């Protein structure tokens, strides 16, 4: 009787200790980016780390491939599954190719969300868009128009990869809304694969093969910087302008040289912060990410989940000579 009682008490104590250890276990959230060495994603990581510090007992694992390929991301995902992370927040290089690996992660109990560049719905709980796709498309066209005399002329698009989810959606929106900008004529779209050297060469090619192009719109932080440099090196500042989505810290030189008058971007720090907050609450279990629901995101307030598990964070913000010095010190 006494022996049985001792064993029961011992078992209860062991379970309590195990429960305490489980509660004390650090939550591991993996922030999977398109490629390492990209300033936009490094800024997003700062935001994720900020969220982790606020939430407490959260570890951010910042990772991604060295080049913008789905194969590289699949290797990273498989490694994270083996590590037993609690959540994966991914900006995808391909919306479909990463789905089987992410499904495997979900089967292991890992909470999966996509952010910035989305994943097909079957591969994630929700997608956090930095802004609404319609507003981003319209902003890119507005920026192109504002760089042209009387808002009329030819422009070209320099994108990332041909399979980049967000790039293709934004370009689709630009084409859809072109009728609202009768003075604009889209000549061609080229792809720099979000690699600085290839984006630079593609911009050089545009300047030579399409001398009628007066504006290059690059809805990618790597592309807009590379194109600005190509215009400057070609001695075409004032003849050809570059705009799109860029980081203030990287685009300050382009604004000051005159290669760019204005560009736009949401704050990637806020984006990484929001992704980490959402992942945390999904793991914690006080949010499910279903359409119509809201998820608390710290200083960003509550983020509402729309149809197909899509959520939008904020409108794009325009940067120019009046504010570039201020924001280039931030990100």
Tell me the pLDDT tens digit for each residue of 25-54: 999 999 999 999 998 999 999 999 999 999
Q: Give the per-residue pLDDT at 24.
A: 65
Mark whether 46 and 61 lie in a shared domain.
yes
**Position 331 in a domain:** no
**pLDDT per position as a tens digit, 120-143:** 999 999 999 999 999 999 999 999
Is pLDDT at 155 greater than 70 in this prediction? yes
Total domains, the chain: 2
3-state class (DSSP) for residue 85: coil
Tokens 């992370």 sit at which residue? Answer: 85
Is pLDDT at 12 greater than 80 in this prediction? no
The mean pLDDT value for 258-284 works out to 96
Q: Give the per-residue pLDDT at 314.
A: 81
3-state class (DSSP) for residue 257: helix
Q: Give the per-residue pLDDT at 236.
A: 98
For the chain, the C-alpha Rg in angstroms (whole number) is 23
Mark whether 116 and 138 lie in a shared domain.
no
**Position 328 in a domain:** no
d(CA 250, CA 49): 22
DSSP secondary structure, 36-55, as one string: TT-HHHHHHHHHHHHHHHHH
Cα-Cα-Cα-Cα dihedral sign, residues 96, 245, 35, 188: positive
Domain boundaries, position 68: 6-130+268-313
Residue 228 in contact with residue 242, Cβ under 8 Å? yes
Mark whether 174 and 50 lie in a shared domain.
no
Calculate the average pLDDT of the chain: 93
Query: How many H helices and E strands in the chain?
Result: 11, 14
d(CA 272, CA 278): 10
Q: What percentage of the chain has pLDDT greater than the value 90?
A: 90
Helical packing angle, 133-146 and 165-177, nearest 10° = 60
d(CA 239, CA 140): 19
Mark whether 11 and 67 lie in a shared domain.
yes
Mark whether 102 and 175 lie in a shared domain.
no
Q: Give the per-residue pLDDT at 23.
A: 53
Mark whether 260 and 137 lie in a shared domain.
yes
**Position 273 in a domain:** yes
Mark whether 97 and 153 lie in a shared domain.
no
For residue 38, the tally of other CB atoms under 10 A from its CB is: 21
Mark whether 250 and 139 lie in a shared domain.
yes
Q: Give the per-residue pLDDT at 5.
A: 45
Cα-Cα-Cα-Cα dihedral sign, residues 281, 286, 288, 291: negative
For residue 59, the tally of other CB atoms under 10 A from its CB is: 13
**Position 289 in a domain:** yes
Cα angle, residue 104 at apex, residues 305 and 48 outer, rounded to 5°: 50
What is this structure's pTM?
A: 0.82
* pLDDT band (50, 70, 90) for residue 6: very low
Mark whether 137 and 252 lie in a shared domain.
yes
Mark whether 30 and 117 lie in a shared domain.
yes
**Position 320 in a domain:** no
Residues 6+ apart with CB under 8 A from 120: 95, 96, 99
Is pLDDT at 238 greater than 70 in this prediction? yes
Mark whether 51 and 167 lie in a shared domain.
no
Q: What's 168's domain CATH number? A: 3.40.50.2300
3-state class (DSSP) for residue 114: strand
Beta strands in 64-169 (DSSP E): 87-90, 111-115, 126-129, 153-159
Is pLDDT at 310 greater than 90 in this prediction? yes
Q: Give the per-residue pLDDT at 1.
A: 44
Is pLDDT at 15 greater than 50 in this prediction? no
d(CA 321, CA 291): 40
d(CA 213, CA 227): 13
Find, among 244, 264, 255, 239, the residue nearest to 314 by Cα: 264
**Position 173 in a domain:** yes
Is pLDDT at 169 greater than 80 in this prediction? yes
């Amino acid at each position: 009787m006494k022996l049985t009682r001792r064993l029961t008490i011992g078992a209860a104590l062991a379970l309590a200790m195990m429960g305490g250890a489980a509660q004390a276990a650090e939550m591991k959230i993996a922030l999977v980016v398109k490629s390492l060495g990209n300033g936009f994603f490094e800024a997003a990581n700062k935001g994720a780390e900020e969220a982790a510090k606020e939430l407490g007992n959260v570890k951010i694992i910042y990772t991604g491939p060295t080049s913008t390929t789905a194969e590289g991301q699949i290797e990273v995902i498989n490694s994270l599954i083996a590590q037993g992370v609690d959540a994966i927040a991914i900006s995808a290089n391909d919306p479909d190719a990463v789905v089987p690996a992410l499904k495997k992660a979900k089967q292991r109990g890992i909470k999966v969300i996509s952010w910035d560049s989305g994943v097909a719905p079957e591969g994630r709980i929700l997608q956090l868009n930095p802004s609404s796709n319609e507003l981003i498309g319209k902003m890119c066209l507005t920026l192109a128009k504002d760089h042209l005399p009387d808002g009329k002329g030819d422009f070209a698009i320099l994108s990332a990869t041909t399979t980049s989810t967000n790039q293709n959606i934004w370009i689709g929106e630009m084409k859809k809304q072109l009728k609202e900008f009768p003075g604009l004529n889209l000549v061609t779209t080229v792809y720099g694969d979000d690699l600085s050297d290839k984006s630079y060469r593609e911009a050089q090619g545009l300047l030579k093969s399409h001398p009628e192009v007066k504006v290059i719109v690059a809805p990618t932080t790597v592309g807009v910087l590379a194109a600005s440099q190509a215009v400057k090196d070609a001695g075409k500042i004032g003849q050809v302008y570059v705009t799109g989505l860029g980081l203030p810290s990287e685009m300050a030189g382009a604004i000051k040289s005159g290669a760019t008058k204005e560009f736009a971007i949401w704050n990637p720090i806020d984006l990484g912060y929001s992704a980490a907050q959402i992942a945390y609450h999904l793991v914690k279990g006080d949010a499910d990410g279903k359409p119509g629901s809201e998820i608390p995101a710290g200083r960003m307030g509550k983020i509402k989940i729309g149809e197909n598990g899509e959520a939008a964070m904020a409108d794009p913000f325009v940067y120019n000579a009046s504010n570039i010095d201020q924001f280039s010190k931030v990100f």
